[in-house]
Structures are given as structure tokens and as C-alpha cells.
Amino acid sequence: MAVNAKNLNETEFFYGHKACAGCGGSLAVRIALKVLGENAVAVLPAGCMSAVGFNFPQLCFGNNAIISTFAGTASMLTGVEAGLRAQGITDFHAVGFAGDGGTADIGLQALSGAIDRNDDILYICYDNEAYMNTGIQKSSLTPFGARTTTTPAGKNIRGNLRPKKNLFEIVAAHGIPYAATASVGYLNDFMRKVEKAKSIKGTKYIHILAPCPTGWGVKTDETVDIAKEVVDCGLWYLAEYENGAFTLNHQPKEFSSVESYLRKQSRFKHLTAEDIEIITQSRDAKWEFIHKNFN
């Protein structure tokens, strides 16, 4: 039976931490560990999740967990996996949880290396679209137009000028055994993907959009709603890459309003109608690509 909210493991593996109220990243980590179970061996780089969960003597992981260097999530996972296997231990899941900066910027080289070697690891990127732990600075996964503390929205420059890096397809281009996108707004879909990744040998990558109320400027009880809406308006999508092919998992019947999604967040409040049109057009171009290339 597929894992769902009813049969999900009731044991908590990540609790007592000091994440901000409404943290999408901690929700992704908590749910993934429930699916993976007590034999998950987690590697988390310097970043939000390690900052909130590993403060001696208050250590918040019920399973084995270790902080890696910022750039070293994937390489440390490789060592953990190889080290256990070399000792004849096989009943474990080596899983990494890194943010967008730790994955798409500073950790990309190590991630690419691990995929290239096809190390038997699961890498989960919780994407909150900026360096939130250091106070909301732009990463390469910050979307176009977003205001961060290093892409201020002023008269001359209106926030981040560059589009979000397409990391899912960059990862897929390695010929990885399994990659998927997800959102904390669609947790059943995420749980199913973690469950699936658990059974696949080789490198697995799941990219889950995980809103940060502090950085996005939404209320702390709106995390799940906004994570749902980003999928519903078509600015994020739920898909998988397996056996060399892309599959779209969820096709909204009709897109909800991009403008309405953007206007709910203070990081986008400066956007002009023209900016919103650019974002809408890029969404449409992306979906044209998806319809052409995804099953």
C-alpha cells in the first residue's frame, strides 16, 4: 500500500528544533524521515536545518544525522554510504537534505560528482528560493523578480534579474536513475516519491519546493497553501525523471492566477504589471516545453 497520511510512521525523527514557525524545509525533512524510517542516515550541510537542529546539547534527530560542510552534502553522503557498505551494513538509507544555495550553488559540483558515480544515495533539496539561514540573500534558485537582501527592489533594479536555475533538468541530464520535483503543498505526491526513491539503487534526487514564510513574506500558517498555489498557477510543477524519460505527474486543469500568487508575498510586492507579464510568459514557455518533452 502506498504511504499516505493515514499509514505514515507516527514516530518523529526531527523534533524539538528551533525552526521558524511555518518552516517548509523542516516539514519536508520531517515527512521524508518518516517515510525512510529509523535506518535513515542523514547528512545536512551548514544551513537552516543544521542551524535549527544540531545545537549541542540539544540534538534533534532521532535517527543518525551529521552536519557536512556547506559544499559537502553529496560528498559526505558518498563517504557515509561507502563506509557503511564496506563494513557489510546494507539496511540503511543515506539521505541528504540541503537547501537551494547548498544544492544549486556551492554544492553543485559535489552533487554532480555523486550522480556521475551513481552513488547509492538520496539527495533531497528543500528549495526555499534564497539563502534564508543567513538572512534572505539571492541564490541561483531565487526566482525572477524576487526581492532579497542582496537583490533589493529599488527604482533602478526591481529585485532579482535572473530566472530560477533549472536544476531538475540539470540533474536529469546526468542520466540519473531517478529524479523528481515536489512541493510541500502536495505532501502525498512527495511521500510517494520518497517511497519510490527508497527502492531504487543508485543516485536519487528530489527537489521539493518548501516555502519560507520569513523570506517570502507570507503568514506562518500559509506555507502549505502557498506551496500548493505555486503548483496550481504553473510556476512550479510536479514531475519525475526515470529511465531517461520525463513524466508530468500533475496537470492543473486551468492555471490559477500568477498575479494572485505573487501578490500574496511581500518579496514580490514591488512587481509591475510588466514584470508579471514576463513571469507569465516564461511560465507558458516552460509548459510548452513540458507538453512537448514530458510524458
Q: Which residue in 20, 54, 169, 217 binds other proteins (CB under 8 A)?
A: 54
Could you give the dihedral angle defined by the CA atoms of residues 24, 26, 32 and 34, in that order, rounded to the nearest 10 degrees?
Answer: -130
Determine if 116 is a binding residue for other proteins (CB under 8 A): yes
Please give the grid coordinates belonging to residue 173: 541530464
Query: Is the CB of 71 or the CB of 212 nearer to other proteins?
Result: 71
> In this complex, which beta carbon is closest to other proteins, that of residue 20 or of residue 278?
20
Stretch that binds other proteins, among 56-64, 123-131, 221-229, 276-284 (CB under 8 A): 56-64
CA distance 240 to 249: 7
The conformation of residue 103, written as its DSSP 8-state character, comes to I
Q: Per rule CB under 8 A, is residue 202 in the interface with other proteins? A: no
Rule CB under 8 A: choose which of 91, 199, 253, 295 binds other proteins: 91
Q: How far is the CA of 179 from the CAs of 1, 125, 176, 193, 240, in angstroms?
A: 22, 11, 7, 9, 6
Distance between first and last Cα of the chain: 25
Tell me: does residue 71 bind other proteins (CB under 8 A).
Answer: yes
175 near other proteins, judged by CB under 8 A? no
CA dist., res. 161 & res. 210, Å (int): 22
Contact mark string toward other proteins, 1..40, x via CB under 8 A? -------------------------------------xx-
CB 103 within 8 A of CB 111: yes
Does 103 bind other proteins (CB under 8 A)? Our answer is no
Which stretch in 19-27, 55-63, 170-178, 226-234 sits in contact with other proteins by CB under 8 A? 55-63
CB 237 within 8 A of CB 180: no
170 binds other proteins, rule: CB under 8 A? no
> Total number of residues binding other proteins (CB under 8 A)?
47
Strands (E), the chain: 40-45, 54-55, 58-59, 64-68, 93-99, 122-127, 178-183, 204-209, 239-242, 245-248
Residue numbers at the binding site for other proteins (CB under 8 A) = 38-39, 41, 43, 50-51, 53-57, 59-69, 71-72, 74-87, 89, 91-92, 109-110, 112-113, 116-117
